[in-house]
């Protein structure tokens, strides 16, 4: 009898233990993402000729081009991994019958926050603006019936999902940078912020209750911007080697975005909107590169790993992937910048870690079940 009782207790403990385990799901059932090349996992690649298998893009992690504009994983990849979800499939690559219940990525490299018509009215031509934020939102709405069937099912599903709205707007800004006109850049800010706010509002109307809105990076430290502006005036740069005026512009932009987020929070008290401080998470890498394992020096810190040219390892003639001339650094993990506009996997990992595990998210994210290592 005693043996039977012990067996029964042991069986019950194992059975119930498994039941409790199954009753504690991952923090998010799904993650959905909108954005540009910073988070594109293959959408733009569907509309362009395939990169050769020996392209340096994707070489560090995937060992082949993966549709990502880096040598490896992106911030988004590290986030979904930390929350125990698979890497997000690109919307334009979806196939019939593919499992999309754990999330989808709508980000498109080169895309803009503003619609193409608005940009053309301002004499700004960005081809990928055809895949602007509003277009990505329309794609989500088209996909929604495949995700959930009834209002009740959708409410339950979205209650346990996370939506990332951006980073977006960087390409709107990049289109003006060659003109070196800060006034024109500032004129775009309210329009970009409004586009992000409107998309967020529409997602909330669709039943979304948890969103992330990232700010923009310190573009004054960006290799492509440094190479484009390249003023040769010492007073234009801060003590680390970043362009002071362009970082000040992004600080202004991010402040306007945060004000809009606060308004959205007041209008939607039952919705959680987290601000991702991309600026702070990235700038610390440029300010203390050695602390994070990167090469240091006023020029070395900002050199792109992939490309060719002086002084930042970049030129329009020999971009990353042009095999006849462009070179790839021996150890991408020692460089912050990958190809000019984009970071290396090593930099993206540290940025993601600062967002998910703190302190660069406000309010903080749900505790991830897995560490970013």
Structure tokens at 53: 């298998």
The radius of gyration of the chain from alpha carbons, rounded to an integer in Å, stands at 22
Burial of 243 (0-12, 13-18, 19+ CB in 10 A): buried
Structure tokens at 352: 């993601």
Active-site residue, 48 included: no
Largest CA distance in the chain: 89
Select which of 55, 96, 339, 367 is catalytic.
339
User: What gap in Å lies between CA 260 and CA 121, rounded to an integer?
Assistant: 24
Under 8 Å between Cβ of 272 and 306: no
Distance set, CA 96 to CA 93, 184, 261, 317, 360 (Å)? 10, 44, 37, 40, 38
Active-site residue, 342 included: yes
Select which of 37, 39, 66, 197 is catalytic.
37
Which helix (H) or strand (E) element contains residue 201? Answer: helix 182-205
From edge to edge, which strands make up the β-sheet containing 361-362? Answer: 30-34, 161-165, 210-214, 272-276, 361-362
Select which of 64, 123, 342, 364 is catalytic.
342
Under 8 Å between Cβ of 190 and 357: no
Under 8 Å between Cβ of 313 and 305: yes
Active-site residue, 339 included: yes
Q: Which of 114, 200, 129, 198 is nearest to 164 (CA)?
A: 200
Distance set, CA 373 to CA 81, 186, 350 (Å)? 10, 38, 9
Beta-carbon contacts of 99 under 8 Å, excluding residues fewer than 6 positions away, are none
Q: Catalytic residues, which ones?
A: 37, 339, 342
């Amino acid at each position: 009898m005693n043996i039977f009782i012990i067996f029964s207790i042991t069986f019950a403990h194992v059975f119930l233990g498994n039941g409790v385990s199954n009753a504690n799901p991952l923090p998010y059932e799904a993650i959905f993402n909108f954005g540009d090349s910073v988070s594109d996992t293959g959408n733009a690649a569907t509309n362009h000729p395939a990169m050769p298998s020996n392209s340096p893009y994707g070489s560090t992690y995937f060992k082949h081009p993966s549709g990502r504009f880096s040598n490896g994983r992106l911030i988004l990849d590290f986030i979904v991994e930390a929350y125990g979800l698979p890497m997000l499939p690109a919307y334009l690559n979806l196939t019939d019958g593919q499992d999309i219940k754990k999330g989808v990525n709508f980000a498109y490299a080169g895309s803009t926050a503003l619609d193409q018509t608005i940009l053309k009215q301002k004499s700004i031509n960005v081809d990928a603006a055809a895949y602007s934020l509003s277009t990505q939102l329309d794609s989500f709405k088209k996909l929604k019936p495949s995700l959930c069937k009834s209002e009740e099912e959708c409410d339950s599903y979205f209650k346990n999902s996370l939506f990332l709205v951006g980073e977006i707007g960087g390409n709107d800004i990049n289109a003006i940078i060659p003109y070196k006109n800060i006034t024109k850049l500032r004129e775009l800010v309210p329009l970009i912020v409004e586009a992000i706010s409107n998309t967020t509002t529409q997602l909330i109307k669709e039943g979304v209750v948890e969103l992330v809105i990232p700010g923009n990076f310190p573009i004054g430290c960006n290799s492509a911007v440094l190479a484009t502006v390249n003023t040769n005036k010492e007073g234009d740069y801060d003590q680390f080697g970043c362009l002071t005026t362009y970082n000040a512009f992004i600080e202004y932009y991010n402040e306007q975005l945060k004000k809009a987020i606060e308004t959205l929070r007041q209008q939607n008290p039952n919705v959680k909107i987290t601000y991702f401080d991309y600026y702070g998470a990235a700038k610390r890498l440029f300010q203390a590169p050695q602390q994070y394992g990167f090469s240091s020096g006023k020029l070395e810190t900002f050199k792109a790993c992939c490309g060719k040219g002086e002084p930042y390892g970049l030129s329009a003639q020999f971009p990353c992937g042009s095999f006849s001339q462009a070179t790839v650094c021996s150890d991408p993990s020692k460089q912050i910048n990958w190809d000019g506009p984009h970071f290396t996997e090593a930099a993206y990992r540290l940025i993601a870690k600062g967002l998910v595990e703190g302190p660069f998210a406000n309010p903080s994210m749900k505790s991830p079940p897995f560490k970013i290592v």
